[in-house]
Amino acid sequence: MAQASGMDGRQGTLPLAGAHNSQRDAKRLRELRELLHKAAHAYYVLDRPIMADEIYDQLYQELLDLERQYPEWITPDSPTQRVGGAPSQEFLSIAHPTPLYSLDNAFDPADMQSWQDRWQKLWPGELPADLYICELKIDGLALNLFYEQGMLVWAATRGDGVTGEEITANVRTIRTIPLRLQTSQPPAQVEIRGEAFLPQPVFLQLNQERQERGEPAFANPRNAAAGTLRQLDPRIVAQRRLDFFAYGVGSGLDLTSQQETLKLLSQWGFRTNSHSQVCPDLSAVQKYYQIWDKKRQELPYGTDGVAVKINALAMQAELGFTQKSPRWAIAWKFPAETGVATVVGVTVQVGRTGVLTPVAALTPVRLAGTQVTRATLHNAQRIDELNLHIGDRVVVRKAGDIIPEVVQVLGELRPGDAPAYYLPSHCPECGEPVVQTEQEAATRCVNRRCPGIVREQINHWASRDALDIRGLGGKAAQKLVSLGWVTTVADLYDLTEARLASLERWGAKSAANLITALDQSRQQSWPRVLYGLGVRHVGAGTAALLATHFPSATAVQAASLEELCAIVGIGPEIAQAVQVWFADAENQALLARLQQAGLQLSHDPVAPTTGTLSGKILVLTGSLPNLTRPQAKALIERAGGKVGASVTSRTAYVVVGAEAGAKLERAVALGVPLLSEAELVALAGEG
């Protein structure tokens, strides 16, 4: 007999070959287990997913169906018998006092009806009017928080449901997780369950910053949240502004319903999702599901389905658990935001800093309500990781407003004659050799006269956050560059209405409108001009910050590396990029031409009489990682605030650093909001 050995030594018997279709099914079962084990290890332990969630769900369901058909084949090491993956070895392991279970998945009304039929067989009693409660299933990382006498003692990831990774220092940086429960009569011990997540705007900004540094983007907010909480430096976690929704407790509280649990969690100071709803039956559940399937893109956080739970805790206790899931709850997943398409070709886009971005041309696939025919491949390193061939069947992902990307190649479906794809060694726009340094994953064209670079620089210069030049960009920029009329943004201000009107399909009105828009751009502020110059790593916020400290291009050019780094929010990488750009002779010539054209390359900064901290009293305690006390005090005062000597009921915030003392304890006792250095900088509008 063929044997499949379990992790604890027990064995499940697989059939002899030739018994009907069982040999084929047994082979498939082994394949599925191996695939799912690899995928789970990559996802939970390595934080490097190798398989889209929807593909995993399909394979898992196939394995589950096989094991239901052949229950004698089930072994203890089957993925269906596990709650989750092993914790990372980089953190200490900690045992959960009560296990954390994962939810089974439903994908359509028939699945929901089957789930209801299963649990109703075990419940002979009457059904309450408030039978179900629906909650949005947040796309993040499950956490277990342990409190003693109301104080947070430790925090851990779900891990395998029995043992998790102890990440208390990182969790303490999440401001929606209270360090002390807001109650005068806390339980002696209590576990709080919830989901840590990265808000969508923060996620998009984080990915933009990573791409500007030539680093691979996070695949989705959940991976970003997981990667953040596994950082060994809590300061990095604090800067990424994670959020948290609490949704449950471990055990031991005298509560009657999940609805009451959510209310109590809110009273204790936790953030709970405001969109939960009690439903009397599956028909009402389906209406809730349909509403949020349409509205979920409006939310500032990711959600991949609806968690449907029996509301009464007594019923939950009676129904209990299977080995891996509660019988009284299920996750009704939203339609897939991934799909499978065929790669029919690859084009390479050249960005304003010369970065080459490969983009796969695809057979049409519908994702998140739109038809997708193109998806980014990020860079040469990502292409190598994917082992991409033209003609491959690939998994494509699109979450929210994120650009579609290829996340997996289905190598087993590759045609035999499919050629491998490699990023070109020469720029597709200008034909010059491209370069790649060891410091970054990006491949670049370094020819500053490259038409692709110039075109994207014009698009950036004309963008809304920069000079906001209506009618310039896209096809107009392409035309002006292809004719050779514009080789730098300064050439735009040499254009005349008559010359533009001579272009095919332009006409007098279009030409006049563009000249008017160019004239208006001369009045845009110095911070906007600085952003429009396209200095590497300098976004709109950083440009405004630089302009606050250096009121002219001349002042920026004269600034030393030390002076640049002294600004809160300007790190060595940004400072060096700024210094290199302003020291370049051609860039200095560009600035001279822009000044001659009437652009605003300076301003007179006025000290604000009001600001984001106007009228507020802040108290400092402990040693901040980057700011000295005088620097922090000046930062607060620039934003209109005042620094207090002691914590009182009038204190708006307490800024907490390392080795904080009695002021922190006083702040916690009074319920005064706490800020990290990074949050202070952001709140003051200087980061």
Instruction: Quickly list DSSP for 113-135.
Output: HHHHHHHHTT--SPPPTT-EEEE
Name the nearest CA neighbour of 217 among 209, 225, 207.
207
How many Cα atoms within 13 Å fall on the side-chain side of residue 413? 13
Q: Is 309 annotated as a binding residue?
A: yes
Does the annotation flag 565 for ligand binding?
no
Strands 329-333 and 105-106: parallel
Per the annotation, does 430 bind a ligand? Answer: yes
DSSP state letters, 371-408: EEEEEE--SHHHHHHHT-BTT-EEEEE--TTSPPEEEE
Q: Is 333 annotated as a binding residue?
A: yes
Gap between the terminal Cα atoms of the chain: 66
Q: Is 137 a catalytic residue?
A: yes
**Cα–Cα nearest to 549, from 618, 676, 627, 635:** 635
Is 584 known to sit in a ligand binding site? Answer: no
Q: Does the annotation flag 680 for ligand binding?
A: no
Alpha-carbon torsion (26, 27, 32, 33), positive or negative = positive
What does the alpha-carbon distance between residue 222 and residue 198 come to, in Å, rounded to a whole number?
A: 7
Question: Does 103 carry a binding-site annotation?
Answer: yes
- Cβ neighbourhood burial of 683 (10 Å; 0-12, 13-18, 19+): buried
DSSP labels, 32-100: HHHHHHHHHIIIIISS---S-HHHHHHHHHHHHHHHHH-GGG--TTSGGG-SSPPPPTTS-EEE-SS--
Q: Please give the Cα distance from 390 to 396 (Å, whole number).
A: 15
Check the annotation: does 67 bind a ligand.
no
Is 55 annotated for ligand binding?
yes
Facing residues of 136 across strands? 306
Give the whole-angstrom CA distance, residue 195 versus residue 141. 5
Determine if residue 279 is labeled as part of a ligand binding site.
no
Among residues 38, 121, 137, 295, the one annotated as catalytic is 137
Q: Which residues contact 135 (CB under 8 A, 6 or more apart)?
A: 247, 262, 273, 275, 276, 306, 307, 309
Answer yes or no: is 136 a known binding residue: no
Binding residues for Zn(2+): 427, 430, 445, 450
Q: Which residues are catalytic?
A: 137
Binding residues for NAD(+): 53-57, 102-103, 135, 158, 195, 309, 333
Binding residues: 53-57, 102-103, 135, 158, 195, 309, 333, 427, 430, 445, 450
